Amino acid sequence: MAIKRVVIAGMGFGGLSAAKELAGHGLEVVMVDRHNYHLFQPLLYQVATAGLEQESIAYPVRALARRWQGAAFRLGEVAGVDLAGRQLLLAAGALSYDYLVLAAGSRTNFFGMESIERHAFDLKSLADAEGLRNHILTLFERACREPDPARRAALLTFVVVGGGPTGVEFAGALRELTVHVLSRDYPEVLTAETRIILVEAAQSLLTAMPPELREYALARLRTMGVEVRLETRVTGADSEHVMFHDGTVIESHTLFWSAGVAAADLADRLGVPQAGGGRVKVSPDLSLEGHPEVFVIGDMAHLVQDGTPLPMMAPVAAQQGRHAAHAILARERGEETQPFRYHDKGAMATIGRSAAVAVSHGLKFRGYLAWLIWLLLHLYYLIGFRNRLLVLMNWAYYYFSHERQVRLITGEDRKTE
């Protein structure tokens, strides 16, 4: 009897969880991704703000595959899926499957605003993080020699859009970078000259958090010197300006966008029903209607639980990856698959050094204790002992010295000049 092949497209949290669960069960597990590494996206903002090296938050997939029985990796760009022919279409050819797990993740959602998409930075890849770090450092280099006060102010004004965890964490980290590190590297630039503006369309930051934690996060950011503008929408941008819904314009060379995500482009090419954000509608067991051998998980999947679509977050993807793997194994045993149920273990966000907010199982944490919980959990979920050690050493070094080592301008910056 031929060994069944399971193809997993995407090596994010969902795809990796599925592969780990399927390994060693007599199946051929083929992992496919455009990159040869798993990226720990929650810490990308620390690469962008010179806190961590790129390599410390990435881990080679082949190193995992060689430890997992029956697993293999194939580097490739996914072009589409032939559902009828049971083939995953790659740029370099087709890969047949008996089961398919689609875990291609998400892309940044600019809500059709082309000027923002053209001029804003986002954080979805190592290249994005490196490019943003280059941009920030290069702006300080330019500000040192800029004689015109207005142009100098524009160079040192950073607009961050989105009051979710990514926006809050990036704004806090950027403020600490400018106050504690770049102020010493660039004595020509006064700390007071640097502006970081966090913009949120809702009435509060971190809307998924309890009210008292939202208020703490807002107060903490403002105490740090971050300007927070609530109930404010960005409507356009060019290379030197950011436009707002009320007609006001801020001169700035940096717009960071974390205000929305949508399903990866692959979802549009499947030819199946989609929901908001381009997410693929799935059956309760995460399979495609009419194609029980195909599972869609993570940010690509649209599944309503308790009247609300499940959020596009790493914990959801990881749990769905494990569920899809168990569903495949159940099918192989001739058993019925079970509906997926997400178990929310909580949420958290760090707000600079020694401060964070966290909620888990009805318990609320803030300040130093929440920050310690955030540190420990992120270290736990990082893959690889070396990566955990490097990240821990970097965090400890920064905690005691207020110094960040990765202040390198390493490539061309397409948006700075």
Residue 94 maps to which CATH number?
Answer: 3.50.50.60
Residue 417 lies in a domain: no
Is residue 414's pLDDT more than 60? no
Are residue 183 and residue 296 in the same domain, yes or no? no
Identify whether 46 is part of a domain: no
* Helix, strand or coil, per DSSP, at residue 299: helix
Q: Mean pLDDT, to the nearest integer, of 289-314?
A: 97
Kindly report, residue by residue over 253-269, the tens digit of the pLDDT: 999 999 999 999 999 99
Q: Would the pLDDT of 415 be above 70?
A: no
- Quote the pLDDT of residue 240: 96
Q: Which of 233, 213, 171 is nearest to 362 (CA)?
A: 213
Structure-derived torsion over alpha carbons of residues 219, 225, 229, 235, reported in degrees to the nearest 10: -150
CA distance 4 to 83: 17
Does 14 share its domain with 133? no
Same domain, 245 and 174: yes
pLDDT bin (cut points 50, 70, 90) of residue 2 is confident
Q: Please tell me the total count of domains within the chain.
A: 2
Mean pLDDT of 157-164: 97
Are 318 and 40 in contact by the 8 Å Cβ rule? The answer is no
Domain co-membership, 127 together with 243: yes
Residue 28: CB atoms within 10 Å: 16
- Look at residue 144 and tell me if it is in a domain: yes
pLDDT tens digits, 51-108: 999 999 999 999 999 999 999 999 999 999 999 999 999 999 999 999 999 999 999 9
144, 224: one domain: yes
Whether residue 385 lies inside any domain: the answer is yes
125 & 212 share domain: yes
Q: Is residue 376 part of a domain?
A: yes
Positions marked catalytic: 169
Do 99 and 141 have their domain in common? no
- Is 123's pLDDT higher than 70? yes
What is the per-residue burial (b if ≥16 Cβ within 10 Å, else e) of 292-319?
Answer: ebbbbbbbbbbbeeeeeebebbbbbbbb
In single-letter form, the type of residue at position 169 comes to E
Same domain, 252 and 270: no
The span from the CA of 321 to the CA of 327, in Å, is: 10
In a domain, 209, yes or no: yes
Q: Which amino acid is at 162?
A: G
Regarding whether 275 and 141 lie in a shared domain, the answer is no
Residue 191 contacts residue 179 (beta carbons within 8 Å): yes
What average pLDDT does the chain have?
95
Q: DSSP letters of 46-75? A: HHHTTSS-GGGGEEEHHHHHTTSTTEEEEE
Position 56 in a domain: no
Task: Mark whether 120 and 228 lie in a shared domain.
Answer: yes
Residue 131 pLDDT class (50, 70, 90 cuts)? very high
Q: What is the DSSP letter of 250?
A: E
24-38, 368-382, 399-413: which has the minimum mean pLDDT? Answer: 399-413
Q: Which domain covers residue 94, as residue numbers?
A: 5-34+76-108+261-332
Q: What is the DSSP letter of 361?
A: T
Residue 59 maps to a domain: no
